[in-house]
Copies of this chain bind each other. A is one copy, B any other.
Amino acid sequence: MATLADVASLAGYNKSTVSRALARPEMVAPETLTRILAAADQLGYVLNRTASQLARGRTGLAAFVVPTLENAFFAPIIGGAQARAAESDLHLTVTVASDVTALERLAAQVDGLILAAPRGTDADVTTIGAIKPTVLVDREVPGLPSVVADTATAIGAVVEGLAVRGHRRIAYIGGPPGSWQDPGREAAARNAAARSGAELTVHGPFPATFAAGVAAADEVLATGATAVVPYATALALGLMLTFRGRDVHVPDDIVVSAETTVTHALGAPGIPAIDVDGEGLGRTAMDLLTTTLLTTALLTDPGERRRLPVKVTWSR
């Protein structure tokens, strides 16, 4: 592997000049630049990132932390973040982590963090945020930049729409324990139900998995609900399939909200779909992180908060 010094001696310049030529071409004379570039590609020179990172005190690493990878919800978010990361020349390492100590260890190794739907207390999250620039996804904590999908509003709209369509008894299936989004969604569901005179039962907490949906099904059936609004798609699928096993017809006997791709499959009208722009979340998070990295004002910055709208549609 060719080094800066190799290129320098071949081109007849000093290491430092070569370094500048490569990093900030406008700082060197045009002729110098062409000579150095020629030498560089003659030798097939590639920047050694490790050395570069050491010298400038940054790792070039950003960590994307999820509480679990089982939930496909995070896939597009990660995809979006990754796409943006590549543009700004960062490596994104995806990590599954929950406890604070693991996060603290991780924080020491990277330039910045994106915490997606972190469990744990505000204090825990703040601790991490104090170590390295941190952006939150689907969670808000005072003083930290964040981007959340406004699913609560969408769920309110869904509950209201269901009531309008004649559903008098609606079940809300809560998300995993510790979920920051859950209380807001539940509240939105409650308000909407109260507003439109429907009765709402709340179930949970449940992890956002297919198996949990299966487990929740009988509890929901017992309430006599004719419509269900689950926290996550995986729950919806578990519910639907189990209803099916119980000979309860979806959506004739009971309606379950899910993503468009899922509700499409049923080919029946009047089913609400909630679609979150995962890639958008990821991209936005990464944008916030890179701007935070540039303005290393760590603690002075109040932390920008963004909310992305969530789309509600009704099949027909």
What are the interface flags for A240-257 relative to B under an 8 Å C-beta threshold, 1 for contact and 0 otherwise?
111011100010000000
One of A71-79, A185-193, A296-304 contacting the partner: A71-79
Interface residue stretch chosen among A21-29, A141-149, A173-181, A261-269 = A261-269
How far apart sit A182 and B79, CA to CA, in the bound complex (Å)?
A: 25
Contact with B along A59-90 (1 / 0, CB 8 A): 10100000011111011101100100000000
Complex Cα gap A59–B238 (Å): 43
A96 within 8 A of B: yes
Hey, what's the 0/1 contact readout for A255-285 against B, CB within 8 Å counting as 1? Answer: 0000001101111100000000000000000
Known contacts A75-B69, A237-B237, A244-B244: does B49 contact A261 (CB below 8 Å)?
A: no
- Where chain A touches its partner, the secondary structure class is helix
A262 near B241: Cβ-Cβ < 8 Å: yes
Which range contains the number of A residues in contact with the other chain? 35 or more
Could you say which of A31-39, A50-58, A221-229, A287-295 contacts chain B?
Answer: A50-58
Contact A59 B69 (CB under 8 A): no
> Which of A176-233 touch B at CB < 8 Å?
209-211, 213-214, 217
